[in-house]
Chains A and B, each alone.
Chain A
């Protein structure tokens, strides 16, 4: 790597390898850009738009934007943080998120981002969609009310587990998560507790039964430190260790 392979993020030089996206390079170099649908182990697809940054006056999702030498990128500015607040408000309004009674509270990325970005109000009229639970499986509960359609479980089940347990159906605001069974029920799929798809949900859709409150609320991951201080913990830091496409 030669030393010209850097771009600027909020005024700081960030080195990158060819093939890396702006998000991948930023995280690897220890710089946080807020995100929800991005996960270091999967090919980024750029749907949540939380990671939107500004490059030369234009905006783009940093998780899918190829890093290029000399780019001058703005991320941690009020204009973009205001945008991110609105996007978080949209996700809250779109589903049914009752944090006080949610067993994922404290471990939920959406909630953590809400706190970190200082989302103080609802902002939008909530839609209260009708999304029945799927409790058919003896060990796993699906609470679709909290789905933010990030597709991480879809990607994990297909790319890592080789199973395609999850998929998206419908279009527009009626888009929703489905499971791979004629009955439409999780119990009729081949999901297993050990699947990667069980680990990746950033909110509280895919839940192991009977362990929900083993760890008390107040002592959970984002109860201790804000998400912006922790997201880097998950990011692959070794420049060549990451499996990126």
Chain B
């Protein structure tokens, strides 16, 4: 019989070899180690300490930062229901209850026989085909009562995931409206050829002329970014594609990586040419693990076609290749400097800026980091010419934008429009009726009411990373905001005081109101909290975490006020509620086991 250490060494050695025994690849090493053993075993950590020269506390610190990494057993089957508001609107809460009943377990706990655990996770990017779940990291879409029951049965029978019906794992593109990007007919290499004609040193300038701005939300000029990276001194420059699409309600990058992967790679290669980089990386969110193999195959096809590797398209010295880093469940890693920290094998905590990634990015080298869609748009802009590109959209928002539409509409999916489209047009196209509110650009974005539907998507009016969630008049906007507040509290990295504590305080207050203990005092307290979070948070997560509450309070105040007690202040502590446990333990529920409201 082999010893425990030998058992772990056997699989860890091959992983360590593949990742060059580099501590900077710790996250990838831990993720793969977990695939071999379902959780990261203490013996495996002992082995990694010796091989990587990284202390245990650091390894545990990294592993415990990511939702999908585990230092303790969690069952053979780990079921995570996607918990975005759109999943909830499609019945995910009830489905999860049903499944827990069927398998006799409590949410968040492992079953006695160590077979299964059931919990929730942040939006999995399947809002157009929810409710969705992850089982051992694999995405399952379009859950129904019947499907959930079948899954319960498969788990009970210990059927390996590979033998589950393929239809469970089917992910549709749901492209509803094509434009410049989704309708492109470029062959692999077309944009690169155009770029080589243009000349490497002219690419950034052309992009500046095209007016292209980043599609991840912040809207920084892509040309300026690439130019700064090109001019930054550094031995090894890097190109990173941010595919950590975590903003709830957004799923456009999923579709681009599924059906336009070549254009993404093309844009990255173009960027490498423009800035003088040889190393490219895609940071793919852990929820999209199912895309890993197809993407790797697409990369290999490009290598075979001389579109990646040494001397690309026969140009001596044009060397570039791309590797894929997989995330492990941390929304904050969508923030560019947190993403870089994560790529370096650390906890995904945003860095202090300056310096910016263009001068001190991955491994402190100049790094051009852009969103998936931005790379696609850059390739298109170079191929069609800066002036032609500039003619599309609006003066300050050129080109087209992919919008991920979900929620209360008959045709959820991906819609591509030139910038400047009104919210009302999008609603008409997706067939939404009786719409009460629209959440643009996810929880950190903007919630608008009917009177504002003529507003336009673009940097002049409503900037957006691309999410558009629709709520009809049957929806309770308080519950929408509460779901978003829970999301921020769950995904705060915890680095700075205001965000770490403030998002939890906000969650407590929203829950207090939901339970019927809220007062006007609580509403004003939330406005105070917002000021603190906005002025002192370390990054955008904290600064925008109060938006859902503030926006819905401003537009849908009755949804809050109808829940309030008329008093100025009510303590969150409920005297009678505090006896609930004692009642349960003694099996009593008579009048004497309750404290009446008058007595409190």
CA distance A91 to B347 in the complex (A): 22
A163-177 contacts to B, CB under 8 A, are: 164-175
Greatest chain B CB density within 10 A among A167, A171, A175 is at A171
Name the residue in B66, B330, B496 with the highest tally of chain A Cβ atoms < 10 Å from its Cβ: B496
Decide yes or no whether A47 CB sits under 8 A from chain B: yes
CB-based nearest A residue for B573: A125
Query: Contacting B572 at CB < 8 Å: which of A125, A168, A169, A180?
Result: A125
- Tell me if B538 is interfacial: C-beta within 8 Å of chain A: yes
Name the residue on B nearest A178 (C-beta): B57
Within 8 A of B (CB), among A56-100: 59, 61, 64, 66, 83, 86-87, 90-91, 93-94
**Which residues of A, 32-63, contact B by the 8 Å Cβ criterion?**
45-50, 52, 59, 61
A178 with B330, Cβ < 8 A, contacts A47-B538, A49-B498, A171-B492 known: no
In contact, A48 and B497 (Cβ under 8 angstroms):
yes
B61 at the interface (CB under 8 A from A): yes
The binding surface of chain B is classed by DSSP as helix
B92-100, B284-292, B420-428, B528-536: which one contacts chain A?
B528-536
Please indicate the chain A residues that have their CB under 8 angstroms from the CB of B497 in the complex. 47-50, 87, 90-91, 148
Which single member of A46, A90, A164 contacts B55 (CB below 8 Å)?
A164
* Interface bits B319-352 vs A (CB < 8 Å: 1, else 0): 0000000000010000000000000000100001
The CA-CA distance from A89 to B505 in the complex, in Å, is 11
User: How would residues 142 to 179 of chain A score, 1 for a CB under 8 Å from any chain B CB and 0 otherwise?
Assistant: 00000011000000000000001111111111110011
> Which of A171, A173, A180 touches B57 (beta carbons < 8 Å)?
A180
Known: A64-B352, A86-B532, A90-B502. A172 touches B493 (CB 8 A): yes
Contacts of B60 in A (CB 8 A): 167, 169, 178
The verdict on A94 contacting B501 (CB below 8 Å), with A178-B60, A182-B46 known, is yes
Q: Does A133 contact B (CB under 8 A)?
A: no
Contacts of B531 in A (CB 8 A): 83
CA distance A166 to B55 in the complex (A): 10
Shortest Cβ distance from residue A111 to the other chain B in the assembled complex, whole angstroms: 16
Answer whether residue A115 sits at the interface, using C-beta atoms and an 8 A cutoff. no
Q: Among the listed A46, A48, A86, A168, which residue makes an inter-chain contact with B352, where contact means beta carbons less than 8 Å apart?
A: A46
Contact, CB under 8 Å: B494 / A49? no
The interface residues of chain A lying within 8 Å CB-to-CB of B532 are 83, 86-87
Write out, one digit per residue, whether chain B residues 464-494 have a CB within 8 A of any chain A CB (1) or not (0). Answer: 0000000000000000000000000111111
| A-B CB contact pairs (8 Å), 25 listed | A45-B352, A46-B352, A46-B496, A50-B497, A59-B536, A61-B352, A87-B498, A94-B501, A148-B497, A164-B55, A167-B55, A167-B57, A167-B61, A169-B57, A169-B61, A170-B494, A171-B67, A171-B493, A172-B490, A172-B492, A172-B494, A172-B504, A173-B489, A180-B57, A182-B42
